[in-house]
């Protein structure tokens, strides 16, 4: 079985390594060392995605987590109190998704230490998941033999199995107005901030319906208070479990931007990028049945849910791989109050250990 003390030590070590999206080199090196210490050969690509192959019985099982965290993730100082791990309050903890990484590492280590037969596996730790699944999207999946697997990258109650997630489109918008002196000749200017604000005021955002969401998350523009701002950039997204609804929502956002620009004499440039496709997994799939059985063996009733967030699973699904995303137990992710119970971290590691048992 798993070694809780060692598991916690590994997790605490990992979260103290800065791991912003695109800057995973140091943490990838540390994880590579841990895998190599288990006698495994580690492959990595130019982005620092890691693949380790575990020889064993049966068809290999994919075990996956991602190595990057959202900001602020520099200088994380984890605090363990009352059985819960938190950050010091000025950074995220990084449990999303280093708890998943640590759980897989400990489950694997415990299984190999036990000796005897075990299931073959392919361990895939990706980069840049938090910025649109870039690592998984650029991973050469043709080198993977596994056709089914488990991603340890969801939060909430342990026992949740994510069996569906939405498609996502991203938007990058440039509103081009005209600069002028704000005190001398403001009427000569076209205020790009006002144009953007008008567009946003007429744009449906947030929860559109039970399948669709939209957000504008970043706005940058303006140079000084005495200059009518001539340029504003916006970044946003739309998600939906229904492709037609996704297309319609993006078109609505574009129409609002174009109408605001037209009415003011401004120009607008809009770049739309399709990030990933939606997926759904049937409850009857062998991997879902297997996961459910192992959770029940741990005394935990599985709960199958549809998520509003994407994960590496979206990319694997595009390559005809049946991969389920399971909860590791972390909570309040993407915030400085992110935390995880040590007991949930231990259960996630035990699940990984169980999944590596020899096939029946």
Check if the beta carbon of residue 330 is closer than 8 Å to that of residue 154.
no
266 Cα distance to chain centroid: 36
Cβ-based neighbour number of residue 232 at 10 Å: 24
Supply 168's token pair.
Answer: 């996502």
Q: Under 8 Å CB-to-CB from 45, ≥6 apart: which residues?
A: 138, 139, 140
Q: Is 129 a catalytic residue?
A: yes
* E strand or H helix that includes residue 247: helix 243-264
- Tell me which residue of 312, 327, 322 sits closest to 284, measured CA to CA: 322
What are 341's strand-pairing partners? 84
106, 129, 237, 346: the active-site residue: 129
Detail the DSSP E strand segments found in the chain: 42-44, 50-54, 57-66, 79-81, 84-86, 119-126, 148-154, 160-165, 167-176, 206-209, 212-221, 231-240, 267-276, 279-280, 303-306, 322-327, 339-341
Check if the beta carbon of residue 97 is closer than 8 Å to that of residue 135.
no
Check if the beta carbon of residue 233 is closer than 8 Å to that of residue 221.
yes
Using CA atoms, how far residue 39 sits from 6, 35, 106, 115, 206, in Å, is: 18, 7, 14, 13, 48
68, 96, 106, 130: the active-site residue: 68
Q: Active-site residue numbers?
A: 68, 129
């Amino acid at each position: 079985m798993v070694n809780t003390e060692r598991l916690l030590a590994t997790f605490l070590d990992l979260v103290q390594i800065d791991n912003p999206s695109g800057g995973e080199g140091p943490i990838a090196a540390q994880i590579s060392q841990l895998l190599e210490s288990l006698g495994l050969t580690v492959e990595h690509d130019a982005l620092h995605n890691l693949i380790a192959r575990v020889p064993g019985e049966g068809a290999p099982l994919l075990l996956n987590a991602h190595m990057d965290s959202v900001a602020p993730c520099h200088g994380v100082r984890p605090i363990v109190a009352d059985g819960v791990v938190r950050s010091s309050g000025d950074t995220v903890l990084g449990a999303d998704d280093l708890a998943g990484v640590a759980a897989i590492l400990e489950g694997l280590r415990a299984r190999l230490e036990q000796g005897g037969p075990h299931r073959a596996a392919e361990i895939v730790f990706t980069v840049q998941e938090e910025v649109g699944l870039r690592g998984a999207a650029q991973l050469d999946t043709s080198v993977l033999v596994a056709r089914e697997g488990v991603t340890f990258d969801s939060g909430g109650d342990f026992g949740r199995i994510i069996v569906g997630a939405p498609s996502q489109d991203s938007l990058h918008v440039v509103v081009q107005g005209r600069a002028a002196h704000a005190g001398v000749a403001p009427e000569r200017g076209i205020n790009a901030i006002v144009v953007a604000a008008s567009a946003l005021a007429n744009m449906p955002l947030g929860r559109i319906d039970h399948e669709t969401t939209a957000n504008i998350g970043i706005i940058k523009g303006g140079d000084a208070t005495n200059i009518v701002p001539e340029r504003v950039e916006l970044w946003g997204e739309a998600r939906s479990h229904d492709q037609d609804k996704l297309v319609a929502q993006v078109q609505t956002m574009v129409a609002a931007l174009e109408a605001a620009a037209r009415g003011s004499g401004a120009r607008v440039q809009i770049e739309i990028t399709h990030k990933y496709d939606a997926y759904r997994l049937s409850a009857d799939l062998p991997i879902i049945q297997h996961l459910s059985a192992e959770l029940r063996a741990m005394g935990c009733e599985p709960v199958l849910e549809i998520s509003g967030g994407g994960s590496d699973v979206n990319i694997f699904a595009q390559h005809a791989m049946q991969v389920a995303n399971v909860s590791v137990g972390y909570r309040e992710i993407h915030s400085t109050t992110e935390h995880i119970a040590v007991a949930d971290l231990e259960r996630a590691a035990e699940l990984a250990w169980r999944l590596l048992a020899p096939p029946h």
